[in-house]
Amino acid sequence: MSLHYLLNELYYQRRRTLAAIVGLSIGIALLIVLNALSSAYRQAARAPLAEIGADVTVQRPGDVPKDLAGVVFPCSAVTIRDDQVKKISGLPGVRGIGKAVLLWVFDPNRAWIVLGVEQQNNVGPAVLRSAVTDGRFLEEGKSEALVEVGYARQFNIKVGDSITIAKNTFPVVGLLDASRAAKIAVGNVYIPLTEAQKMAASSAGVQSVSPFNPADINLLFIKADQEQITGLAASLKTIVDKKATIGTPDSFLKLLGSLFALSDKFTMAASLIAIIVAVLVAFKTMAGNIAERAREIGVLKAVGWTNRNVVTQLLAESVIQCFLAGLLGLAIAFVAAFGLSFMKVNIPIPWDMAPTPHFLPGGGDQIFKTLRLPMHIPLLLATFGVLLSVVIGGVTGAFLGRSISKIKPSEVLRHE
């Protein structure tokens, strides 16, 4: 193989080299972008859960309380017993558990959405400590409250004030802005989990709908191994309830409704089409190029190049062209990914995960978690794209080289 001959051929036949490179690079770019897009949607679908440090949420739907007075459970989240939680924490793939109690409290002059949270935990609403805008987060062993900043503004509540919820008084130690965080597991008021558990256990409204012990909860957050989430979701239903609402990245992905989000098969099919088109373009361009060079190949053979010499030369040309096409495709994909990263994704939050009662202002509205599409091209995908391009070059070059090398020099060298 002569590198000099190869480079001269690619350089002096710039137009046909460029045609082959551009054709294939578009296919490779398409393949990379499609897969990156699919991966970005998957990542976006994980955002609502990831922002509260979880991979899975568990809720159990129940009956609507007879009277919307005092402390009640939302009908979408009733008791998950402590023994069920213990059983869940032992399931394979579970790496951590976060607990919370979500209550609706209807006091005579005000309605509260109360979230009882753990003070220290990397899983569940305790991660909201980073959303404190004024004052501090809840401390262990203290009976105190945090108020959502918008709610505080509406009712003129400040750090240092006291609030009374269902006859329990809490000093307000901080304000918290959860608007930029996950739209699930948020409330107007955040109190220690134990206080919320006591409040629920002592409430006739709660007990009449769903018996509740002070160690029970009604929202469960699970940190899990990504590969085991599907299996885990099935086990959770067995333990908690067949009708339990299990929030997983896949369930959010389905809500996104995008073709890329809906189906791996779509991405695979589109990628396959992109590859087939790329291969056909590369094959057609290179076949045309090689056919044009039949006379040249005849000369090579006449002056003593063996079939193997000819195939090696054409194979090397093809591989180099396709390698360059892979690099160009990657560059195009990077530019496209950068452009697509400005796209906004609205992830709908299911109504049963929304904490606001539907009968309160804004409660019936569909809420979304909005974020920029997290487009990036993983190293593995980039490498795969370039390698695939090289493989296409290898296969195309070998096939075309073998067929053209069989040409008889005497057939193409006859003078006109």
Partner 1 sequence: MNNGTILTGTGLSKKYGDLAVVKNVSLSINKSEFVCLVGKSGCGKTTLLSLLSGLERPTVGQVMLDGKEITSATEDDLALFRREHVGFIFQSFNLIPTLSAWENVALPLFPVKMTSEAREKRALELLEKMEMGHRTEHLPSALSGGEKQRVAIARALINHPKVLFADEPTGNLDSATGDAIMEILNRLHTQEGVAILMVTHEVELAKTAERLIRMHDGEVLS
Q: How far apart are CA 179 and CA 153, in angstroms?
A: 14
The answer to whether 403 contacts partner 1 (rule: CB under 8 A) is no
CA 280 – CA 141 distance, rounded (Å):
69
Site string for partner 1, 320-359 (x = CB under 8 A): ----------------------------------------
In angstroms, what CA-CA distances link 287 with 83, 253, 291, 314, 327? 69, 43, 6, 11, 22
Tokens for 73, please give them: 């459970």
In this complex, which beta carbon is closest to partner 1, that of residue 4 or of residue 243? 4
Secondary structure (3-state) at 175: strand
Choice from 300, 324, 328, 330 touching partner 1 (CB under 8 A): 300
> How many residues lie near partner 1 (CB under 8 A)?
29
Residue 369 interacting with partner 1 (CB under 8 A): no
Give kind and range of the element (H or E) at residue 385.
Answer: helix 379-405
CA dihedral 145, 148, 152, 157 (to 10 degrees): 10
List the x/- string, 269-298, binding to partner 1 by CB under 8 A: --------------------------xx-x
Under rule CB under 8 A, residue 380 binds partner 1:
no
Q: How far apart are the first and last CA of the chain?
A: 30
Q: Which residue has the tokens 């088109």?
A: 277
Cβ distance 48 to 86 under 8 Å? no
304 contacts partner 1 (rule: CB under 8 A): yes
Q: Which stretch binds partner 1 (CB under 8 A): 8-16, 29-37, 369-377, 395-403?
A: 8-16
Q: Which is nearer to partner 1, 194 or 309 (CB)?
A: 309
Q: Which of 18, 229, 255, 299 binds partner 1 (CB under 8 A)?
A: 299
Told to check if 303 binds partner 1 by CB under 8 A, we report yes
Q: Are 72 and 204 in contact (CB under 8 A)?
A: no
Find, among 65, 95, 89, the residue nearest to 77 by Cα. 65
Residue 297 and residue 305: Cα distance in Å, rounded? 9
For tokens 């409430």, what's the residue?
A: 203
CA angle at residue 319 from 314 to 323, to 5 degrees?
Answer: 150
Q: How far apart are CA 279 and CA 169, in angstroms?
A: 71
- Interface with partner 1, residue 416, by CB under 8 A: yes
Stretch that binds partner 1, among 9-17, 129-137, 165-173, 203-211 (CB under 8 A): 9-17
Show the tokens assigned to 198: 């006591």
The residues in 105-134 that bind partner 1, with binding defined as CB under 8 A, are: none
- String marking each residue 12-31 x if it binds partner 1 according to CB under 8 A: xx------------------
Q: Given candidates 308, 344, 358, 372, which one binds partner 1 under the rule CB under 8 A?
A: 308
Q: Residue 63: CA atoms inside 13 Å, Cβ hemisphere, count?
A: 10
Pick between residue 220 and residue 300 the one whose CB is nearest to partner 1.
Answer: 300
- Check binding of 4 to partner 1 (CB under 8 A): yes
Question: How near is the Cβ of 414 to partner 1 at its closest, in Å?
Answer: 6
DSSP 293: T
The residue from 5, 66, 95, 150 that contacts partner 1 (CB under 8 A) is 5
Q: Which CB, 344 or 408, lies closer to partner 1?
A: 408
Residue 224 DSSP SS3: strand
- How far is the C-alpha of 310 from the C-alpha of 322, rounded, in Å? 18
Residue of 67, 64, 60, 149 lying closest to 106 (CA atoms) = 67
Nearest distance in Å: CB 16, partner 1: 11
Min. distance of Cβ 410 from partner 1 in angstroms? 4
Q: Which of 259, 302, 331, 343 binds partner 1 (CB under 8 A)?
A: 302
Site for partner 1 in 181-240 (CB under 8 A): none
CB of 325 to partner 1, least distance (A): 20
Does residue 384 interact with partner 1 by CB under 8 A? Answer: no
Q: Please state whether 93 falls in left (phi above 0), alpha (psi between -120 and 50) or beta.
A: left
402 binds partner 1 (CB under 8 A): no
The answer to the question of residue 254 lying near partner 1 (CB under 8 A) is no
If one asks whether residue 8 binds partner 1 (CB under 8 A), the answer comes out as yes
- Which of 5-13, 32-40, 175-183, 185-193 is the region at the interface with partner 1 (rule: CB under 8 A)? 5-13
Residues 192, 197, 202, 208, CA torsion sign? positive
Segment lying near partner 1 (by CB under 8 A), choices 26-34, 215-223, 239-247, 299-307:
299-307
List residues binding partner 1 (CB under 8 A): 2, 4-5, 8-9, 11-13, 295-296, 298-309, 408-410, 413-416
